[in-house]
Amino acid sequence: MCYRDVKCVKHSCGHESPVSDQRVDCNSDKCRYSSSHNPSCANCTATCKQWLRPAKTTVTSQSPTPCSTCHR
């Protein structure tokens, strides 16, 4: 199944803030969100996956400052 890849920055307070978000294609014709899926699939809701896998969060950088919520 397809999923979202969320890149984050980790702040000094320990919180993470997303900086980018992109869908990763599983290339399965049985996944509704894949580019390999037939848009005119006859019985899609019964034969194909109708949801994305949980998002994968990756910390790509560190920030020496607290997040906007903790900075207040």
Express each pLDDT in 30-55 by its tens digit. 999 999 999 999 999 999 999 999 99
Q: Domain span at residue 50?
A: 3-62
Residue 45 lies in a domain: yes
pLDDT given at position 71: 80
Whether residue 70 lies inside any domain: the answer is: no
Per the structure, how many domains does the chain have? Answer: 1
Is residue 42 in a domain?
yes
Residue 72 lies in a domain: no
pLDDT at 24: 97
In a domain, 71, yes or no: no
Torsion of CA 25, 28, 30, 32, to 10 degrees: 20
Q: What is the reported pTM? A: 0.78
> What average pLDDT does the segment 10-31 reach?
96
Structural domain includes residue 8: yes
